[in-house]
């Protein structure tokens, strides 16, 4: 393939998207944060599918650590398929969707609203049915995304949730870190993660691993391996992978680890060493100097912001893997942009 894919083009747009989003949503979020503090919610529920749900898995840790409320993932089928009702009184219900048009998400959000939830909608399309149900709407500002593989909209979902947490919690460290993130994402596009391309491209199975907010990034990378390169990748928390899955790691079994510099740094590093000792082909995304088995990002980035930068560099690598295999990342088989689940 000689032409630049839509996936690559849209990944390259991410720094500008995030810069635009952070500026445009600041005032909306400041007003929302005042309302949230007054409402004193009991819990937060997220509702999403696919990449958007992986953004919510990331946000679970960011919000629970930052604002001290439990965050649960609401399964749309509870209301759409099983007809169940859940008491959502005094809850913040965060519905995240690139398109805002999946029928199950719309129906589940309506059910939550009917049960007393305050609905926050995060979406890329202001005209979407989901947005019409929102008590507050946060646009992604990602612009049109035509590749089936979501890239810029996923990172935009991460950053809008980070900005929400920072403003809600009056986090004086995270807010200026977010201001620096667009430039860091731009440099992340240029990171050289070519070392494992051939290893991953020639594999039929692999693990992706992360801890805390990094688990949401591991989930997203596993999905992208499956949908763009047809590689069966399975994501695990670094806290869970030592159970049954560890027995698979031997004789060059590929493992991709996301390691942000927070309280999980040491334990995730020990896990990477453990995988290597068992014969795994281990590649670790982390800050610092590039060397064998290390997929480097620049140092001195806020731990929460390291993860969007890592997935940005991963998207570049994932697109390179599809090119290596002679595949088209924009048109994966059996898939379309909006999945209609009922």
Mean pLDDT of 261-272: 97
104 and 196 share one domain: no
104 and 61 share one domain: yes
Structural domain includes residue 337: no
Mean pLDDT across the chain: 94
Structural domain includes residue 334: no
225 and 270 share one domain: yes
213 and 318 share one domain: yes
198 and 216 share one domain: yes
31 and 163 share one domain: yes
| Total count of domains within the chain | 2
135 and 220 share one domain: no
State the pLDDT confidence band at 148, using cuts at 50, 70 and 90.
confident
Structural domain includes residue 172: yes
Of 162, 181, 200, the one marking the end of a domain is 181
Of 161, 181, 201, the one marking the end of a domain is 181
pLDDT value, residue 82 = 94
What three-state secondary structure class fits 297? strand
Structural domain includes residue 157: yes
**Does the pLDDT value for residue 337 go beyond 60?**
no
pLDDT value, residue 49 = 94
State the pLDDT confidence band at 1, using cuts at 50, 70 and 90.
very low
Structural domain includes residue 186: no
Over the stretch 86-138, which tens digit does the pLDDT of each residue have? Answer: 999 999 999 999 999 999 999 999 999 999 999 999 999 999 999 999 999 99
Per DSSP bridges, beta strands 205-210 and 294-297 are: unpaired
Structural domain includes residue 45: yes
Structural domain includes residue 244: yes
pLDDT value, residue 335 = 57
* pLDDT cut 90: percent of the chain above it: 88
40 and 176 share one domain: yes
pLDDT value, residue 177 = 97
Domain limits at 114? Answer: 6-181
Looking at residue 308, which CATH number applies to its domain? Answer: 3.40.50.10490
**Does the pLDDT value for residue 214 go beyond 50?**
yes
117 and 266 share one domain: no
pLDDT value, residue 331 = 82
* pLDDT cut 70: percent of the chain above it: 96
173 and 230 share one domain: no
Q: What CA–CA distances, in Å, run from 220 to 24, 25, 111, 290, 315?
A: 26, 24, 27, 23, 10
Over the stretch 54-82, which tens digit does the pLDDT of each residue have? Answer: 999 999 999 999 999 999 999 999 999 99
Structural domain includes residue 340: no
Helices (H), the chain: 6-12, 14-39, 50-67, 77-80, 103-114, 152-168, 174-188, 197-201, 214-229, 265-277, 303-325
Alpha carbon dihedral 87, 88, 89, 93, in 10-degree steps, equals 180
Q: Is residue 297 within 8 Å of 310, Cβ to Cβ?
A: yes
Model pTM score: 0.95
98 and 205 share one domain: no
Mean pLDDT of 167-196: 96
Residue 309: how many CA atoms within 13 Å on its side-chain side?
32
pLDDT value, residue 296 = 98
Alpha carbon dihedral 312, 317, 319, 322, in 10-degree steps, equals -150
pLDDT value, residue 250 = 82
110 and 29 share one domain: yes
**Does the pLDDT value for residue 231 go beyond 50?**
yes
């Amino acid at each position: 393939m000689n032409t630049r894919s839509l996936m690559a083009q849209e990944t390259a747009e991410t720094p500008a998207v995030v810069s635009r989003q952070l500026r445009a949503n600041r005032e909306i979020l400041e007003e929302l944060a005042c309302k949230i503090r007054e409402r004193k919610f009991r819990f937060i529920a997220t509702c999403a599918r696919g990449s958007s749900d992986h953004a919510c898995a990331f946000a679970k840790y960011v919000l629970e650590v930052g604002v001290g409320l439990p965050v649960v993932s609401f399964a749309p089928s509870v209301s759409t398929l099983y007809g169940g009702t859940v008491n959502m009184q005094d809850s913040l219900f965060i519905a995240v969707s690139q398109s805002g048009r999946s029928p199950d998400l719309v129906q589940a959000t309506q059910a939550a609203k009917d049960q007393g939830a305050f609905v926050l909608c995060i979406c890329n399309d202001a005209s979407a049915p989901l947005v019409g149900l929102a008590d507050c709407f946060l646009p992604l500002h990602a612009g049109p995304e035509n590749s089936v593989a979501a890239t810029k909209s996923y990172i935009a979902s991460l950053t809008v949730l980070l900005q929400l947490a920072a403003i809600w919690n009056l986090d004086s460290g995270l807010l200026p870190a977010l201001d620096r993130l667009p430039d860091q994402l731009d440099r992340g596009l240029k990171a050289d993660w070519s070392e494992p391309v051939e290893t991953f491209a020639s594999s039929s199975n692999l693990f992706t691993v992360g801890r805390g907010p990094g688990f949401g990034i591991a989930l997203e990378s596993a999905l992208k391996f499956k949908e763009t390169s047809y590689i069966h990748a399975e994501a695990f928390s670094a806290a869970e992978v030592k159970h049954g899955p560890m027995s698979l790691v031997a004789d060059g079994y590929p493992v991709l680890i996301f390691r942000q510099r927070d309280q999980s740094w040491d334990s995730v590093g020990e896990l990477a060493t453990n995988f290597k000792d068992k014969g795994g082909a281990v590649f670790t995304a982390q800050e610092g100097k590039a060397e064998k088995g290390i997929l480097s990002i620049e140092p001195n980035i806020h731990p929460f912001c390291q993860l969007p930068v890592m997935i940005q560099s991963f998207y570049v690598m994932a697109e390179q893997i599809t090119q290596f295999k002679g595949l088209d990342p924009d048109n994966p088989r059996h898939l379309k942009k909006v999945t209609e689940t009922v």
